[in-house]
Structure 1
Amino acid sequence: MQIDEHSYPPSGATQQPDVGLRELKRLRTHRDLADAATSLVLERGYDAVSVEDICEVAKISRRTFFNYFESKDQSVFGNGIIRFNNEDEELFLSGDHDNPVAAMLDQIEAKNREKFLRQMALEGTAEFHREIRRRIQEILRKEPKLSAVVISNFSKSMRLVRSAFEGYFTAHPQSRQSPELPLEQEVTLSVGFIRECVLYSSMHLDIFKTDTPLHDAARVVTTFMRRMP
């Protein structure tokens, strides 16, 4: 797999999307639920908090809760540090990529950035995200067993990233950066690079001040790999 920091440029200038009143209300409700869930679990412990407790604090019905989250786990931990689903896989497979690894970074970064920019329609979004990350870190410190939830979500996304690379390299062998390797080995290396970029960027958001933290992490990882003997 060819690694070149210039293959991972920032995806361009960002523009605040238009957010209507209905979506603004949904964003606020989502925030209220996440705020209630994380604060309650941090205060009482995970097992002592129910969906009903979260709904009571957020002043939301149980039915409304499940319009926003699939489970209590998701209301506390969100979708994890990466959310790559079947629709994302289909989008990747339908594209035309000269460098599939760079394209995967672009797609993940663009999705994260679009979501964050929409949330920026609410005041204090950046501060709220920092506080939620702090709470989640503290929850995991107090109850390490809950790390299994975060790991499971991450693993599901990375399995789909692998599936996307396998499908694309098979359908477009000319796009491979290391054709001298067996396909499965290039897939493994490609997934590994994406995984390390995602993990590094999520763990060091304090040092990545741009709106492209994933690409910033890719440059750090690439530089490190170049220095390996």
Structure 2
Amino acid sequence: RKQRTQQSRSFTSFILPKEDGWPVPFYYGACGRLIIEEYAGETLTTYYTKPWLERAKLAQKLLVAAKKLTNDHLGFRFYLTDVSPDNIAVDASGSVYFIDLEDVIIVDRNIPDHEKPVSWTSQHVSELYECASCFTFSRSEICNHHISDHNLYAVCQHLLSPKAVPGIMPGGLLHSTPHLVLENYPDLPLILTQCGESAAPFGRFKAANQLLHLLANITETHKTINRELNPDALPL
């Protein structure tokens, strides 16, 4: 098992190099079972009590990373199976990195036509289970479709939303949304819910784009909002 883990990490680090903009730590190399990677920063868990606007910026970056791993590689799609605040690092500049890639579902985007399953041309929609802390998925279902909303489901439902893992991040990364934000952006809770729970084809993709747009609008006006929320705080 350790040998397979080392090979998985090495392969993923090789085809997703940080220097090309992928949200992973810099990979220095490996010797046997020893892997050397850069220290990417504090875990996302430590940002739980940071100001809401700072957490909103991190939420944006997590959504961008989820979309990038799903869409941007020409040969493969990468689906995260161990999405936990403790497996995500934030560096001094506020960039986010997935630091535990020992178990990733890698789907070949360019398989020959004769090998494509019947379901290949449709989008895989992640199933939602009404169970606290349940992060469930089917490897075979994900691999039998040309694209899945799995990464968006993972980030929205299990990191950002009020239904995120209660023992690690109660209320999710976007907990305690200021009243001023909700007054100006009343659709925020609904869009966040849709990003995590939508069962419609490409519903989560649509909601994720709406959520990104909404968070961008909020953070672009952060100087005014931040002064009203925290009169003594420095601009983020």
Larger strand percent: 2
Larger helix percent: 1
Q: TM-score, normalized by length of structure 2? A: 0.31
